[in-house]
Structures are given as C-alpha cells and as structure tokens.
Amino acid sequence: MSVSPSREPDTTTDDDLAREQDYVTTLYRKLDVERTHAQSRLTETLRQTGGTPQARTERDVATTLYSDRLAQLGSVEQGLCFGRLDFVPESVEETTYVGRLGLFAEDDDYRPLLVDWRAPVARPFYLATAASPDGVRRRRHIRSLSRKVVGLDDEILDLGAADQGQDLGLAGEAALLAALEKRRTGEMSDIVATIQAEQDKIIRASLSGVLVVQGGPGTGKTAVALHRAAYLLYTHRQQLTTRGVLVVGPNSTFLRYIGQVLPSLGETGVLLATIGQLYPGLDAVAVESREAAEVKGRLAMAKVLANAVQDRQRVPEPVMEIVYEHDILRLDRKTCLEARTRARRSRRPHNQARRLFVSDVLDALTRQAARKLGDDLLDARDIQDIRAEVAADPNIAEALDGLWPKLTPEIVLDELFADRERLDSASGRLLSEADRAHLESPTDADWTPADVPLLDELAELLGEDDTEARAERAKREREDKAYAEGVLDILEQDEEIIDEEMLRVGDVLDAELFAERQERRSELTAAQRAAQDRTWTFGHVIVDEAQELSAMDWRLLMRRSPNRSMTLVGDVAQTGSAGGARSWSEALSPYVADRWRLAELTVNYRTPAEIMAVASRVLAEVNPELEAPVSVRETGFSPWQRDISPASLAEGLPPLIASELSEVDGGTVAVLCPSARVDAVQRLLGQSDERVSVLSVARAKGLEFDSVVLLAPDEILAESPRGLNDLYVALTRATRRLGVVNTGDPVPALADLAP
C-alpha cells in the first residue's frame, strides 16, 4: 500500500505566485546573461585565425563547446524551472529549485540557483513520498507559460497530515493530471516535471549492460527512454559525447513526433534514426508486403547472403582462354581453385580477399607468359616487368573481374532479388519456393526498411578494397605538400614581407602544417559523424518499440553496440510485425544469453480507464496471462461504435470526424484503418485539417491522439497474423475519446460498445 501525500491547492496565495515569479525572472535573467556570454565568446573564437597546431585545436574545441552551449540554452526556454523542494529544517539554504539545466550564481561559493533535474540532489523531487519523504517537507510544482508563472501545486510530505489510503503512488498528482489532460499537438512533450518513481528508477539505471523496459500502452516507455538518454549524457558526458547515443524509432512519423523532446531537455547531440536510416546514404521507406519483410528479417538470410557472395567467386569450367598480346593464355580450374581456397582461408571480406586471389592468378599467368618468351633467358627484373604488363592488360583484368569481381552491397542484393537463378543457388534449402517468390523484385525497385539490415550484412561480408583510395589519398597529400612548399618558398623570398631580424616563415611553419591548415577541419558532432559512418559504434543504443525488430535488425544493432550498452523498450503484447519478438529471451539470447535485466512499467498515464477496459478484453485474447497496466484517470467518455456500410462511408465518415474535432476542442483526431484503406480515406477526408491524421496501425505505433476513430476493425484483424496485437495497439492510442466504425461484421471483443 502506498501513502498519498496531502495536497494544498488552496494554500498557495497571490504572494506565493509573486515570490515564485520573482525567482523565475531571476533565473531567466541569468539564462540571458549566459546566452549573451556564450554568443560573444563564440563570435570571438570564430574571428581567431592562424596560430600553432595546439592553438588551432583549442580553437576548434572552444567553437564546439560554445555552439553546443548556445543550442542548449536556447532549447530550455519553455518551463526552465518547474519545481521546488523545501527540506527539513526549513531555511533558505534548505530550499532547492529544480529545472531543465543547472544555473549558478556568480559569487564566491558558486551557489546553485537552479539544479539540473538529472543531478542527484534533485532526485527526491521524483521519489519522495509521505511514507519516505527523504528529508522533504514540501514539494512544489511550478507551472509556467513562456516566462510567466501561472500556477503552483503543493504536496506536504508529512505523514501526520497525509491522507491514508491506497493509490498508485503518484508524485505531483495535480501537475501530472494537468499534463495528461492537455490537448495533443502532434509533437511529443517531455515529462521532466512529472516523472514518477517507477520511471525515475529506470531513467537513472546504470549505463552498462542491456536493460529491457517492458511496459503496456500509455506507461510512458518512449518518454522514459528519451529522458534516460538525456540522463546518461549528463552523467557520463565525457564517455558518451565521444561515441554518441543512438535512439532508434519504428518509423519517420514517430521520429518527427519525438524530435523536440531531447532538445527541450538540453541535449542536441543524439542521433535519431529508424532501421531504414542506419545505412549511410539511404533513407529506405519503400513499402513491401508483410510476407517479404518477414522473410528478409529471418536469421537464415545471413547464410543466404554469405552464399550469394561466395557464388560470385567463380572458377573456370574447365579452362578459360584469354587473348594476351596476339597470344593465348590459359587459366585452368585447378589454378583458380587453389587461389580461391587460399583467399577464402584468409577469412578476409570478399573485396579484401580479392587481392590474394588476383595476386595468385597473376603469378600463374606471368609464369605462363614468361615460358612463351623463354623464361631461361629472363632475370627477376624481366619477370617483374612481364607481371606488370599482365596486370595492366584489359583482357586479363576483365577475366579477373568475371572470376572474382569487386562488389558493393547494393549490387549483390539488387541482382540477388532480380535473378531467380542466383536466388535459388544462394538459398538452397534455407528458403521455400514461396519464400523466394516473395523476395523477387526488379533491379530498379526502391529500398525498403527490411533491406537495410541485409545491406549492412553484405557490407560486413564484402568489406572495402581501399587500395585505390589509399593511393589517391597519398597522391593528394603529395600534391598538397608540394603546393605548400611552393607557397612557403615565395614567402621566404619576399624581402618586403620578411625582415631579416625577424623569425622566418620556415622557422614557425613547415609545409606539412601549412598543407593541413588548407584542409577544412570537421566541425561535425559525434552524432553527425556517426550518421555518415556505417562502422561507427555508439556509447549507448536506445531502441523504442524493440519488440518489432527482426532477427536481422538485431544483428545490425548489435554491430553498432559491441559493448552491449543498450536500453530496449517495448511491449511483446503489441508486437505487430511477423518477424517480431514473441519474448525478450528469444530475441536477446543469441547475443547476450541471459545477461540482461528487466524493468517493468505498470501504470498507464495515457489511456483512460473507460478505454482501457475495452482494450483489456482484446489483450485477454492475445494472451490471457498478460495484465493490462492500471489507468490513473477516468474521463467520463464511454467508447462508442457506429455501423456505416461501405457504400455510405463517403457521406457518413466526414461529418463524424468533424464532430470528433469539435469534441476535443482543438485537439488531435486520428483515423486508424487497414493499410489498404489509408490512401482512400485520406482522399475521402481531404486532409484539410492538420489536426486529423489517417494512419495504418503500424504507422500509429508509439503515437497518441486526443481522439481515435477505429475504422473497419475486422479488416485490421484479417490483414495480419497478429491482427489482435494490432487491434490492441489501435485501441490504446487515445488519451480522451475512442470510437469504432464498423463497415463489416463487428469484432466480438468490441460488440458491446454503446452505439
């Protein structure tokens, strides 16, 4: 049983508001001073030129530091200070203000004016209860609009004054419920002012290892994951700033929805991406069938791809004849088999092992060419010259490319899916005839999210032959150095510039340093560099809707996190993809065995009790052993249903949506429908109001709306083997109202909704 603290909504006076307004004004004044100072220092730093290599490095570091600080100070404008803790005994020194970042007075003691919500001293703001006050006498929530304080909510954490009874142990209940009742805007808001105890424990969990956060709909999984990213960056700044934090979401709609949360928490250096964006140069968004995505996500595809690469390492059947300088060189199967075996035994990726194969074959062809010229008359230098000529011959180069070509992941995957013969050879018994049919696609097909893990797998198998790139880089460096030497020579000889009694240019600047200065130095953040580098490994990886990941998705993400420092949030009851997780153990055991820990979120902050009662009936059909999270509030609105025939949908649906818009008074309305109906419903509604969204259930995952109208639930059930899971997801996107429109037979679990 938890003890509910007493609330004092009536004890705050105009004087209290005025005092808090004065203090908040002081904080914003300090924020403005720091912003002006950071801008001034950044401008001053950018004006600096020249100097020693150390000075240049220091200048680059300072530029990044002041740029990041400016971005941070600009992102916390709204709700800068949201809380106050009064400790026992009560005194000025025992009062702590809590906000989005730390601000300090410019005095001898560097006294904190505002404590960052992530600091240890701020933790009682989220954890203190009447039963365990942790030294807190009063917790005050400060509500503000822009820079004006508009309300205060007090809790007295005094056991003698507390109401006794059983509740959900909510901290700051008045502020929490006020936040939950706010209209949705199409962007996710942070919960920094209303984090609850069970959420705080997860947010502040240790960095190391794999943490799985299991939570039903509305429990704040996404918010917890994002606040955890901000907390880890604050607590492990040096470690994570270098390697970066990756946050993976289910789709681009979701990323836009959460895009402002981390900046509002003072963090701007996190990479947000979908699986389809984790291959540099691609944003894979093309749509394919569920069946094709499921096959591509199977672990067996890793072996199929390995076979596909090996199939490109050919040998002649039985002899290949190559025209060379009006003669014929013969390349036999045995020679090529021996060269291929040696290259494969090196365990190097395909493009790097190619150098070994080509070297051995060139040696054999050189010996053959030398014999034709009379090798007993040739010395070592002659043999070297012949080998160079053999290597440069276009016919021989073409033959080698046919036997062991240089490959890219895109070429291999494109040709694999476009050529049934290649696909049959690579898949063997790994895939059925039906599976292969799902994979077939033309060479000009756009990439889908399920293709990206396959491209990443191929990139590992192929590697990159950087011989030419290294040679080009060395050539460019030589040219740059030669240019720099020429410039320095001119400067040294210019008697009008160089005074004999002063240091000469060459005394302080050599050609290499001068050439280095001509290169544009990178000012990219770790997140920006990581987005361009497929081999980048992150300090921490956070995955939302992790239950949707396929086996091949997991392989990609584990490459990005070799230290296995990960936070995975999701709900196996909401798994909608055919290749998604049935259990966390099944998904994680290939990579970390049982070395992962589980945290659960049990309180539903989003979905009203009236809607959750309906969703619970569907959950019982998904899995009778699963328990729905407990809702914290009721709205008084009962879910409804209406039957509209397909022929009458054009007349019946638009006025119904207009009615819902008026009911939510400026809030958002979502029409969730079968994937096949999305385009038609969008055309039907015209999409003239940006507050209305028409989405499939998959696109709505992780989002929330004031009102949800569920269209054709029977078709949602039928379009996926996990239709019940999808229906459960759809029912739990609403924060206030839920309606169901039946165009066919009613779904039994929803049959008793009021008309």
Higher-scoring residue by pLDDT: 293, 507: 293
Query: Of 232, 745, 221, which Cα lies nearest the Cα of 539?
Result: 232
**Under the phi-then-psi rule, with left for phi > 0, alpha for psi from -120 to 50, and beta for the rest, what region is 471?**
alpha
Indicate if the pLDDT at residue 161 is higher than 50.
no
Scanning 443-565, the segments in alpha helix (DSSP H) are 451-462, 467-493, 505-508, 511-518, 526-532, 551-560
Split at pLDDT 50, 70, 90, the class of 372 is: confident
- Give per-residue pLDDT as tens, 488-499: 566 555 544 444
Split at pLDDT 50, 70, 90, the class of 164 is: very low
Higher-scoring residue by pLDDT: 633, 333: 333
DSSP letter, residue 516: H
The answer to whether the predicted template modeling score (pTM) of the entire model surpasses 0.85 is no
Extract the tokens encoding 201. 């424990």
DSSP letter, residue 607: S
Higher-scoring residue by pLDDT: 92, 626: 626
Mean local confidence (pLDDT), 411-419: 96
Please provide residue 441's backbone torsions phi and psi, each rounded to the nearest 5 degrees.
-155, 155
Mean local confidence (pLDDT), 675-694: 89
What are the DSSP E strand ranges found in 165-225? 210-215
- Strands 319-324 and 327-332 come out as antiparallel
Extract the tokens encoding 192. 């920094």
119 to each of 125, 204, 226, 332, 605, how far by Cα in Å?
Answer: 11, 10, 17, 71, 25
Higher-scoring residue by pLDDT: 725, 158: 725
Higher-scoring residue by pLDDT: 478, 299: 299
CB 227 within 8 A of CB 190: yes
Split at pLDDT 50, 70, 90, the class of 326 is: confident
Peptide bond into 89 cis (omega under 30): yes
Of the listed ranges 105-114, 468-477, 598-607, 673-682, the least confidently predicted one is 468-477
Angle at 615 between CA 611 and CA 621, to 5 degrees: 165
Mean local confidence (pLDDT), 284-309: 96
Write down the mean pLDDT value for the chain.
86
Indicate if the pLDDT at residue 165 is higher than 50.
no
| Distance between CA atoms of residues 660 and 667, nearest Å | 9
**Of how many residues is the chain composed?**
755
Indicate if the pLDDT at residue 523 is higher than 60.
no
| Distance between CA atoms of residues 169 and 177, nearest Å | 13
H/E element, 385 = helix 380-392
Say whether 582 sits in a helix, a strand or coil: coil
CB 533 within 8 A of CB 280: yes
Range with top average pLDDT, 2-11, 305-314, 363-372:
305-314
Q: Provide the pLDDT for residue 683.
A: 92
Query: Of 322, 363, 329, 357, which Cα lies nearest the Cα of 341?
Result: 357
Q: Provide the pLDDT for residue 166.
A: 40
Rg (CA), the chain: 33
Split at pLDDT 50, 70, 90, the class of 184 is: low
Q: In one letter, which amino acid is 690?
A: E
Extract the tokens encoding 666. 């400026």
| Distance between CA atoms of residues 450 and 294, nearest Å | 8
**Under the phi-then-psi rule, with left for phi > 0, alpha for psi from -120 to 50, and beta for the rest, what region is 169?**
left
| Distance between CA atoms of residues 492 and 502, nearest Å | 12
Range with top average pLDDT, 71-80, 358-367, 511-520:
358-367
- Give per-residue pLDDT as tens, 567-624: 999 999 899 888 899 899 999 999 999 999 999 999 988 899 999 999 999 999 998 8
Split at pLDDT 50, 70, 90, the class of 25 is: very high
